[in-house]
Amino acid sequence: MKVLVINCGSSSLKYQVIDSETEQVLAKGLCERIGIDGRLKYTPAGGETEVTDAPMPTHKEAVQMVLDALVNEKTGALSNLSEIGAVGHRVVHGGERFTKSAVIDDEFIAGVEAVSDLAPLHNPANIIGIRACQALMPGVPQVGVFDTAFHQTMPQKAYMYGVDYKYYEDYQVRKYGFHGTSHSFVSKRAAEIVGKPLESLKTIVCHLGNGASICAVDGGKSVDTSMGLSPLEGLIMGTRSGDIDPSAVEYIANKEGLDFAGVMNVLNKKSGVEGISGVSSDFRDLCAAADEGNERAKLALAMFSYRVAKYVGSYAAAMNGVDVIAFTAGIGENTPSVRADVCSYLKFLGVEINEELNKEVHGDEKKISAGDSKVLVYVIPTNEELAIARETVALV
C-alpha cells in the first residue's frame, strides 16, 4: 500500500509518500507560508527538488498542490491518486484520551479538539490538515498517530507534578511527553539490533534535535520522559530553556515588564543554546564558534551535554539499570562531540565508548560503545514518517 504521511503545522505541511511493502520513500516535500503566500517543495525519489510558488490561503489549497504534484505527468511519483491507500497524520497531543494511534472519524476529531487547550498551537493545525485531506480524498482511510501516546504507559508517580492534586483532576495538569513516535521507533530498532526481546531490555533513548527529549523505555514501555505538559520541560534545547525554577518566570516578568505570553515566548523562542551562546540554535554553528574559542558557545554546549547526562543518570535509577543507550535525531545522529561529552559523565554506569568509532558516525546506524562497555551505546537514526506509515497500515 502507498501511504501519504502528513505533518501539519500552523503555516506549514510536511509530507511523504511511502510504499509500505518496500518501505521506500516515493516522494517527499513541504508546503511553507500557508496563509501568507505559499510555496511547495517537491522531491521525487532520486529526482531534483522542485520549488513552486502558488497561493495557499488555507491548508486545503496546500494539500491540493501536493496531490497535483504527486500525479504530475513528468515528475509525479504516482500515476493516479487512487494509488494512495491511506493517509497517516502526525497529531501532537492526545491527552489522556489517546493511548495509541487511531482511525480518524468524527469522534476522533472531537477527542483531539477536546485536548486542544493542552497544545493550542499544534492540535488545531493538525485538525485543519485532517479536514483538508478528508475533503480532497473522500473515502481514503486516515489514521492519527500521536506524539504523546507512547508515553501513556508512564506510572502515575512519574507523570504527576508536585502540585495540588485538584489541578490534575480539574485540568489534567501532568506530564505527557512528546517525540513518542521517535522514542518507540528507536527503542524497537535497538532491540532488533541487539538481538534481544524488547520486553527484556532497559533502554534510554536520547532524541537530540532542535526539540530534544529523553525517554526511559523499560521492556518496550515508556516509564519516564523529559518533556512534560508541553515540550518546554526537560533538556536545554535549540531555543527552549528546558527545566527552570518557575520563580524565574515571575522574576523575569517583573524585571522586563512582560506578561505570561511574553515570558513564555522568551522561554520557548529566545532561550536554550541560542540564548546562552548568543550565536545560534544550530549545533553546526555552535561547534564552529566553540572551536574558534567562543566562550559562550562552549558554555552552551557544556550545559547541553551535562543536562542530557543528568537525565540519563536519573533514568538509569528510575529503571534500576540500563542495557542500551541510543542517540538519535539531528544532533544525536550527527554530533560526535556531544555524544562523547554525554558519555564521559556515565562511566560510573559502566558506559565506555570507542572514541575513534564515535567520531566517524554521522547519521548511520552504528554501535559506538567499546567492546568492554557494560552498557551498549548506539546511534540509531530516527524515522518518524516511516513509523507513522507503519502504524497507519497496521490500523487500516
Is-catalytic flag, 147? yes
Site string for ligand ADP, 289-328 (x = CB under 6 A): ----------------------------------------
* Between 335 and 369, CB nearer to ligand ADP: 335
**Cα three-residue angle 308-329-293, rounded to 5 degrees:** 60
Site string for ligand ADP, 201-220 (x = CB under 6 A): --------xxx---------
Q: Is 331 in the site for ligand ADP (CB under 6 A)?
A: yes
Q: Is 277 in the site for ligand ADP (CB under 6 A)?
A: no
Determine how many CB atoms are found less than 10 A away from the CB of residue 65: 22
Min CB(267)–ligand ADP separation in Å: 17
The answer to whether 233 and 243 have CB atoms below 8 angstroms apart is: yes
The answer to whether 68 and 49 have CB atoms below 8 angstroms apart is: no
Contacts of 56 (CB under 8 A, 6+ apart): 31, 33, 34, 35, 37, 38, 39, 40, 62, 65
* Among 271, 335, 369, 373, interactor with ligand ADP by CB under 6 A: 335
* Between 224 and 385, CB nearer to ligand ADP: 385
Min CB(374)–ligand ADP separation in Å: 29
The answer to whether 215 and 177 have CB atoms below 8 angstroms apart is: yes
Q: Is 282 in the site for ligand ADP (CB under 6 A)?
A: yes
Q: Is 283 in the site for ligand ADP (CB under 6 A)?
A: yes
As a whole number of angstroms, the distance between CA 85 and CA 139 comes to: 10
Locate cell 513518542: which residue? 180
Q: Is 336 in the site for ligand ADP (CB under 6 A)?
A: no
Return the range that interacts with ligand ADP (CB under 6 A); candidates 108-116, 282-290, 348-356, 364-372.
282-290
* Between 9 and 211, CB nearer to ligand ADP: 211
Min CB(329)–ligand ADP separation in Å: 4
Min CB(250)–ligand ADP separation in Å: 29
Min CB(335)–ligand ADP separation in Å: 5
- DSSP string across 239-253: S---S--THHHHHHH
As a whole number of angstroms, the distance between CA 77 and CA 97 comes to: 37
| Sequence-distant contacts of 153-158: CB under 8 A, at least 24 apart | 153/99, 153/221, 153/222, 153/223, 154/222, 154/223, 154/224, 154/225, 155/223, 158/223, 158/224, 158/318
Q: Is 359 in the site for ligand ADP (CB under 6 A)?
A: no
Contacts of 333 (CB under 8 A, 6+ apart): 327, 361, 362, 363, 379, 381, 382
The answer to whether 34 and 62 have CB atoms below 8 angstroms apart is: yes
Return the range that interacts with ligand ADP (CB under 6 A); candidates 32-40, 108-116, 186-194, 276-284.
276-284
* Between 253 and 279, CB nearer to ligand ADP: 279
Return the range that interacts with ligand ADP (CB under 6 A); candidates 9-17, 151-159, 170-178, 330-338.
330-338
The answer to whether 114 and 140 have CB atoms below 8 angstroms apart is: no
As a whole number of angstroms, the distance between CA 396 and CA 202 comes to: 31
Q: Is 185 in the site for ligand ADP (CB under 6 A)?
A: no
* Between 19 and 285, CB nearer to ligand ADP: 285
Residue with the CB atom nearest ligand ADP in the bound state: 330
Q: Is 95 in the site for ligand ADP (CB under 6 A)?
A: no
Q: Is 38 in the site for ligand ADP (CB under 6 A)?
A: no
Indicate which residue of 19, 147, 243, 372 is catalytic: 147
Q: Is 186 in the site for ligand ADP (CB under 6 A)?
A: no
SS3 26: strand
The answer to whether 90 and 142 have CB atoms below 8 angstroms apart is: no
Q: Is the dihedral of CA 57, 60, 65, 66 positive or negative?
A: positive
- DSSP string across 292-315: TT-HHHHHHHHHHHHHHHHHHHHH
Size of the site for ligand ADP (CB under 6 A): 12
* Among 329, 342, 361, 376, interactor with ligand ADP by CB under 6 A: 329
* Between 57 and 363, CB nearer to ligand ADP: 363
Which residues, 223 to 262, sit near ligand ADP by CB under 6 A? 238
Annotated catalytic residues are 147
Interface residues with ligand ADP (CB under 6 A) are 209-211, 238, 282-284, 329-331, 334-335
